[in-house]
């Protein structure tokens, strides 16, 4: 009898402990996994939504439109130049009209810049991410980016010009050879800057065709040379760390200038502070034989203007 009770108690205790431990571990693991998955999913969704909203707000402004256009134009310009100087094995000068005579008496010759190859390369390389995104989701941002990329490319092609050189005795122009050349990149930038100033804001629900946000102009088609954007530009005058905007408070400005560095423009109408600063520098230096330089120390008082 004593042995029976001992065995019974031992078995009961063992089974009870085993079951309790098993249930406890199972419940703990289940709760832990559930909480972990819930937290991970919640954090992931929160981060994704936050990042998505931030990206949508910052990547859809008229500034972003200008960046897309100037980048696409830059690829066209760089690749076309590389073709003309022989740095790329897949392309060379544009020889399609070489040797043809014009009605004005000059001939096509020289090395015309092969802009067609540059346009093709830029479209293939720069457009690739947005082409994939548009095929997968047909979102308006991809359409917008593709349009702005094309504006940059067509600007380069539009500004291509005819350049000529005269050949003859004593500088005469008995024979004139002409070719097509790229514009200076600063001219491309200036043209796109003007497009930036008149950028068109879009309706946010377009999937296959871009539409103007203004209802009164919805039926007016968007021109091929017009930049487009979705979001309003942030206020660059005020400090906004969330958007990476430093603001203009404390910026040094030029009181007498009228350009971008002027106090009237840079300080956004808030006015400016003036501080008199003592500036020390070496001056009236003389060389003595041999061999040292002797200088005097000059002090000047400078007015430094900073935005309020």
Ordered by where they begin, the domains of the chain are 58-233 (no CATH), 252-307 (3.30.2460.20)
CB atoms within 10 A of CB 175: 13
**Residues written for the chain:** 308
Residue 9 reports pLDDT greater than 90: no
CA atoms within 13 A on the CB side of 98: 10
Please give the residue that has the higher pLDDT: either 179 or 11.
179
CA dist 50 to 42, 44, 68, 74, 121, Å? 12, 10, 23, 32, 34
The pLDDT, as a whole number, for residue 265 is 92
Q: Percent of the chain beyond pLDDT 70?
A: 75
Sheet containing strand 292-307, strands side by side: 252-253, 292-307, 272-288
CA 292 to chain centroid: 51
The pLDDT, as a whole number, for residue 172 is 73
The pLDDT, as a whole number, for residue 27 is 45
Tens-place pLDDT, residues 235-264: 999 999 988 899 999 999 999 988 888 999
Backbone φ and ψ for 307, nearest 5 degrees, come out as -70, 140
Backbone φ and ψ for 288, nearest 5 degrees, come out as -115, 140
Tens-place pLDDT, residues 105-123: 566 677 888 899 999 999 9
The pLDDT, as a whole number, for residue 17 is 45
Give the predicted TM-score (pTM) of the model.
0.68
Q: Which band of pLDDT confidence, cut at 50, 70 and 90, is reported for residue 36?
A: very low
CA 177 to chain centroid: 39
Mean pLDDT of 197-211: 82
């Amino acid at each position: 009898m004593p042995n029976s009770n001992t065995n019974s108690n031992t078995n009961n205790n063992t089974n009870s402990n085993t079951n309790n431990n098993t249930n406890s571990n199972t419940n703990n693991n289940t709760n832990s996994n559930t909480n972990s998955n819930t937290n991970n999913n919640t954090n992931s969704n929160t981060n994704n939504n936050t990042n998505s909203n931030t990206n949508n707000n910052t990547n859809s402004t008229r500034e972003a439109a200008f960046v897309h256009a100037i980048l696409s134009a830059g690829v066209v310009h760089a690749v076309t130049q590389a073709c003309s100087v022989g740095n790329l094995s897949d392309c060379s000068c544009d020889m399609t009209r070489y040797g043809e005579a014009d009605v004005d008496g000059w001939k096509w010759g020289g090395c015309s810049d092969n802009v067609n190859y540059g346009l093709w390369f830029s479209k293939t390389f720069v457009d690739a991410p947005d082409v994939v995104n548009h095929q997968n989701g047909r979102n308006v941002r991809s359409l917008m980016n593709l349009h702005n990329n094309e504006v940059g490319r067509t600007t380069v092609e539009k500004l291509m010009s005819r350049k000529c050189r005269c050949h003859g005795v004593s500088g005469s122009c008995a024979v004139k050879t002409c070719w097509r050349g790229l514009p200076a990149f600063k001219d491309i930038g200036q043209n796109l800057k003007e497009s930036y100033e008149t950028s068109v804001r879009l309706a946010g629900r377009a999937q296959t065709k871009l539409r103007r946000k203004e209802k009164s102009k919805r039926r007016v088609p968007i021109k091929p040379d017009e930049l487009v954007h979705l979001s309003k530009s942030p206020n660059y005058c005020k400090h906004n760390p969330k958007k990476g905007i430093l603001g203009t408070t404390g910026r040094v400005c030029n009181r007498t200038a009228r350009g971008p560095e002027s106090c009237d423009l840079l300080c956004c109408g808030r006015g400016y502070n003036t501080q008199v600063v003592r500036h020390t520098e070496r001056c009236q230096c003389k060389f003595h034989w041999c061999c040292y330089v002797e200088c005097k120390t000059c002090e000047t008082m400078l007015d430094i203007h900073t935005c309020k």
